[in-house]
Amino acid sequence: MNKFGKGKSFVLFILTIACMVGLALLAGFGFGEKKTGAAENIILGLDLKGGVSITYQVVDEDFTKEQLDDTKYKLELRVSNYSTESEVYTEGDNRITVDIPGAYDAEAILNELGKPGSIMFVTKAEDGFTGDDTYDAYTAEDGTVYKVWIDGDDIKDAQPRTDSDQKTGATDYLVGLSLNDEGKEKFAEATTENIGKQISIMYDEKIISSPTVESAITTGEAVINGMGTYEAAENLASTIRIGSLSLQLEEVSSQVVGAKLGNDAISTSLKAGLIGIVLVMIFMICVYRVPGVMASIALAIYTVFELLVLNGFDLTLTLPGIAGIILSIGMAVDANVIIYARIKEELAAGRHVDTAIKSGFQKATSAIVDGNITTIIASIVLMWLGSGTVKGFAQTLAIGIVLSVFTALVISRVLMALVYNMGAKDVKFYGIQKERKTIDFVGKKAIFFTISIICIVAGIAAMVYNGATGNDPFNYSIEFKGGTSTTVTFDKEYSIDEFNDNIKPVIADIIGNNDIQGQKVTNSTQYVIKTQVLKPETREAFRDALVEQFNASEEMEETNISSSISNEMRKNAILAVIVATICMLIYIWFRFKNIKFASSAVIALLHDVAIVVGFYALSRITVGTTFIACILTILGYSINATIVIFDRIRENLALVKNNRTVDLKDIVNQSITQTLTRSIYTSLTTLITISALYILGVTSIREFALPIIVGIVAGGYSSVFVTGSLWYVMSKNKYEQKTK
């Protein structure tokens, strides 16, 4: 650490702080007329800002519910190109509404999503062909008969791409085509029979492209090349996607709607976040002294980086996204806690400050890397298989993890080296870990296991009781269950905050439920109010209250709406969580070379999730899109806390590898005790952030924050009192056999 002298270290430290201030100013104010880089340019979701709402009506006269659901699902996939936080739901029997966050051009979206037509991949048919069991015949207006190899029902997706010619370096513009299983088989036969020939793409009775088949395509993934520009590739991909809808749609209305939560929700969330971060900084400084100051600077840099990346990648920020950020902030603090706790341990062992800092970072790296890689594996799987809210959460979490590891292992390390070289070489600046008597956690495992079982059984009992009393096991929200959408015209404009403060409580009192969404139609006195399905008498009281107390027009348009979380989205979310859990298990197994570490970690995950799910059943807090984000947050938090303890058990086992007299129970107790400070401090700092959000937030944000608080407590409990003992129970017999 003596590479730079005191003077140079001071200059570098000041330059680092100056760069941080510059980035903070950029994130705060941006530059240029458009304020490029400013935090205010971050795209906010429907819940925080609002967006464009477009309603379509099905053109086809005869169609099935399955076709309507398929069209809805394909629209969900398509609007995810605008934002992963878009919502799609049916209204009545023949309408589909699309809500897309952000200030997008409604006209452009209409051209992309609502243009009717049908897509077919065809070749001219042989004379006399009238169709067969697999392929249809299509007769054009000019009398030409075509053989239809595949149509929109066979197409999953089409996206523009770019490729570079390795010989010339020229850029080629392509369209990547994805087919479903049935389309894969049909297209394999079509391309096999037409090598060297053209297969034409027909949209709305017009040939729009005729690519030449270069080889048989049997994988279900095809590429259409030869596009002159990226715009041409984008237009062709868009047309294919439009034509692949099961039903033809026409736009019946489009409007700009306001935020669901209102400006108060945004401002209080920002205040809560700022207060939480400041409190965490004060806590870190009080506990870790000079390293705590460096951790605070690194945390500030992390926050600025997070804002800039959200801005730069045009990611949509919603409440679930905020959950991902909160989790990554907790993990950023956790990394510093692990490092500085290690430094204090090294100083307690008599190491020189210089050596203690180096050793502290070195010994902390494995726990930090393993914990964060495990979580980032989960986030990658969630981005790959998830959709909607799941994908948005995973994106912000993955970005946050990368930034937190960078700030903890790189920026914190550089700052520590500079401060040390500037003269902070005395042990008093860092503190010494006090010797702690080893606590017999394993000996009390029966008590801890019993507490866990009671909590889980209580949740199950609550679900059974709810079902037995005629209710759903959970208080499902409109996003999960669907409901009624009522368009109300008031005699004056109400802001969303006025609606939330004045009108919403009246409605909640009448319907006996707080699950109410109000969206203001911009530049009008209209509101779209969504509630759960109401009984006739409740609906009448609801209408009367709006008319009598708020001078609403008696003419209100009502329609039943479906859930915005489709069955496919639910299946994707469940599949993503299962695959992510399996991938985490495999990684832990690989890194720790012991399946019992992986097994006990996964059981701890299920333990924490079960407690949070049970809390939802007991408290009857609304289960909506934030429920998914909450469960995912707990998964990421819990696995990280568990790995820190497992890393210490692995380290302590290595130290006594050849000592056959050491009791495995003592190793586990010692490892948990040594990491107890980290477990307490990490849980506390994460709780500080989320508790500030709960205390200062509006009702909907509190319903979002409270289950996460429960999950953090459950995760902290399981990592200290359950996982180590669980691993001991699984491992003791084999360990005892080895030591005999």
Asked if the model's pLDDT at residue 460 lies above 90, the reply is yes
Tell me the C-alpha distance between 583 and 589, whole Å: 10
Q: Count Cβ neighbours within 10 Å for each residue of 348-372 and write b for 16 or more, e otherwise.
A: eeebebeebbbbbbebbbbbbbbbb
- DSSP label at residue 721: I
Q: Which residues contact 41 (CB under 8 A, 6 or more apart)?
A: 30, 34, 35, 311
Helix (H/G/I), strand (E/B), else coil: 103: coil
CATH number at residue 490: 3.30.70
Query: In what order do the strands lie in the sheet containing 155-164?
Result: 155-164, 171-179, 221-227
Residue 278's pLDDT is: 85
Structure tokens at 288: 């870790």
Provide the residue range defining the domain that includes 544: 484-561
Regarding whether 319 and 403 lie in a shared domain, the answer is yes
- In angstroms, how far is CA 541 from the centroid of its own chain? 39
User: What are the DSSP calls for 723-734, one per residue?
Assistant: HHHHHHHHHHHH
For residue 725, being part of any structural domain is answered with: yes
Strands of 423-553 (E only): list them: 483-489, 517-520, 526-531
Question: How many CB atoms are closer than 10 A to CB 535?
Answer: 9
Most confident of 73-77, 83-87, 299-303, 659-663: 299-303
Asked if the model's pLDDT at residue 656 lies above 80, the reply is no
| Band of pLDDT at residue 516, cut at 50, 70 and 90 | confident
Phi/psi for 279 (5° steps) reads -65, -40
Regarding whether 143 and 205 lie in a shared domain, the answer is yes
Q: How many helices (H) and strands (E) does the chain have?
A: 23, 18
Residue 348's pLDDT is: 86
Phi/psi for 521 (5° steps) reads -80, 115
For residue 518, being part of any structural domain is answered with: yes
Of 412, 371, 454, whose CA–CA distance to 637 is shortest? 371
- In angstroms, how far is CA 442 from the centroid of its own chain? 36
Regarding whether 409 and 493 lie in a shared domain, the answer is no
HEC string of 157-173 equals EEEEEEEECCCCCCEEE
Regarding whether 278 and 292 lie in a shared domain, the answer is yes
Q: Count Cβ neighbours within 10 Å for each residue of 308-317 and write b for 16 or more, e otherwise.
A: bbbbeeebbb
Burial of 9 by CB count in 10 Å (0-12 exposed, 13-18 middle, 19+ buried)? buried
Query: In what order do the strands lie in the sheet containing 517-520?
Result: 249-258, 50-58, 95-101, 87-91, 557-561, 483-489, 526-531, 517-520
Name the pairing type of β-strands 557-561 and 145-151: unpaired
Cα-based torsion angle of the residue sequence 343, 347, 352, 357 in order, rounded to the nearest 10 degrees: 0
Structure tokens at 431: 């503190």
- In angstroms, how far is CA 329 from the centroid of its own chain? 15
**Of 538-547, 571-580, 711-720, which gets the smallest average pLDDT?**
571-580
Query: What mean pLDDT do residues 491-514 have?
Result: 85
Regarding whether 212 and 191 lie in a shared domain, the answer is yes
Tell me the C-alpha distance between 238 and 226, whole Å: 16
Residue pLDDT, tens place only, 143-173: 889 999 998 888 888 888 888 766 666 778 8
CATH number at residue 398: 1.20.1640.10
Asked if the model's pLDDT at residue 523 lies above 80, the reply is no
Tell me how far CA of residue 262 lies from CA of 16, 259, 377, 491, in angstroms.
38, 5, 34, 20
Site of tokens 């700052």: 415
Question: How many CB atoms are closer than 10 A to CB 736?
Answer: 11
Residue 500's pLDDT is: 79
Q: Which residues contact 335 (CB under 8 A, 6 or more apart)?
A: 364, 368, 372, 404, 405, 408, 409
Residue 35's pLDDT is: 62
Q: Name the helix (H) or strand (E) containing 516.
A: none
CATH number at residue 48: 3.30.70.3400
Query: What mean pLDDT do residues 494-516 have?
Result: 84
Q: What's the sign of the alpha-carbon dihedral 266, 268, 273, 278?
A: positive
Regarding whether 102 and 166 lie in a shared domain, the answer is no
Of 206, 260, 149, whose CA–CA distance to 626 is shortest? 260
Regarding whether 357 and 296 lie in a shared domain, the answer is yes
Structure tokens at 611: 């407690």
Structure tokens at 327: 């989790």
**Of 153-167, 179-193, 382-396, 584-598, which gets the smallest average pLDDT?**
382-396
Asked if the model's pLDDT at residue 318 lies above 60, the reply is yes
Question: How many CB atoms are closer than 10 A to CB 94?
Answer: 16
For residue 149, being part of any structural domain is answered with: yes
Tell me the C-alpha distance between 615 and 617, whole Å: 5
- DSSP label at residue 41: G
Query: What mean pLDDT do residues 674-682 have?
Result: 84
Q: Are 662 and 656 in contact, with CB atoms under 8 Å apart?
A: yes
Residue pLDDT, tens place only, 46-79: 666 777 778 888 887 788 888 888 788 777 777 7
Q: Are 619 and 473 in contact, with CB atoms under 8 Å apart?
A: no
Tell me the C-alpha distance between 256 and 496, whole Å: 14
| Band of pLDDT at residue 291, cut at 50, 70 and 90 | confident
For residue 49, being part of any structural domain is answered with: yes
- Say which residue, 177 or 276, is predicted with more confidence: 177
Asked if the model's pLDDT at residue 662 lies above 80, the reply is no
- Which of left, alpha, beta for 408 (phi over 0: left; psi -120 to 50: alpha)? alpha
Tell me the C-alpha distance between 157 and 81, whole Å: 11
**Of 31-40, 423-432, 589-598, 713-722, which gets the smallest average pLDDT?**
31-40
Asked if the model's pLDDT at residue 324 lies above 70, the reply is no
Number of folded domains in the chain?
Answer: 5
Task: Give the angle 357-360-366 at the CA atoms, nearest 5°.
Answer: 145
Quick one: what percent of the chain has pLDDT higher than 70? 86
Q: What's the sign of the alpha-carbon dihedral 232, 235, 241, 247?
A: negative
CATH number at residue 207: 3.30.1360.200
Asked if the model's pLDDT at residue 114 lies above 60, the reply is no
Site of tokens 């990491």: 675
Regarding whether 385 and 290 lie in a shared domain, the answer is yes
For residue 467, being part of any structural domain is answered with: no
State which of 110, 141, 168 marks the end of a domain.
Answer: 110
- Report the Cα–Cα distance between both ends of the chain, in Å, rounded: 46
State which of 62, 79, 110 marks the end of a domain.
Answer: 110
Site of tokens 């210490």: 648
Helix axes 65-79, 106-113, angle to 10 degrees: 130
Farthest CA pair distance, the chain: 95
Tell me the C-alpha distance between 646 and 584, whole Å: 14
For residue 469, being part of any structural domain is answered with: no
Tell me the C-alpha distance between 407 and 305, whole Å: 10
For residue 353, being part of any structural domain is answered with: yes
Tell me the C-alpha distance between 716 and 710, whole Å: 10
Asked if the model's pLDDT at residue 447 lies above 90, the reply is yes
Regarding whether 648 and 694 lie in a shared domain, the answer is yes
Helix (H/G/I), strand (E/B), else coil: 180: coil
Asked if the model's pLDDT at residue 461 lies above 90, the reply is yes
**Of 198-212, 243-257, 369-383, 636-650, which gets the smallest average pLDDT?**
243-257
Regarding whether 511 and 411 lie in a shared domain, the answer is no
| Band of pLDDT at residue 389, cut at 50, 70 and 90 | low
For residue 238, being part of any structural domain is answered with: yes
Residue 188's pLDDT is: 93
Q: Which residues contact 11 (CB under 8 A, 6 or more apart)?
A: none
Of 283, 288, 296, 315, whose CA–CA distance to 400 is shortest? 315
Q: Are 436 and 673 in contact, with CB atoms under 8 Å apart?
A: yes
Structure tokens at 31: 């530059």
Average pLDDT of the residues of the chain = 82
Residue pLDDT, tens place only, 466-483: 988 878 888 888 878 888
Of 301, 291, 174, whose CA–CA distance to 233 is shortest? 174
State which of 561, 587, 606 marks the end of a domain.
Answer: 561
Asked if the model's pLDDT at residue 437 lies above 90, the reply is no
Residue 475's pLDDT is: 85
Regarding whether 377 and 513 lie in a shared domain, the answer is no
Alpha-carbon Rg for the chain, nearest whole angstrom, is: 29
Regarding whether 398 and 276 lie in a shared domain, the answer is yes
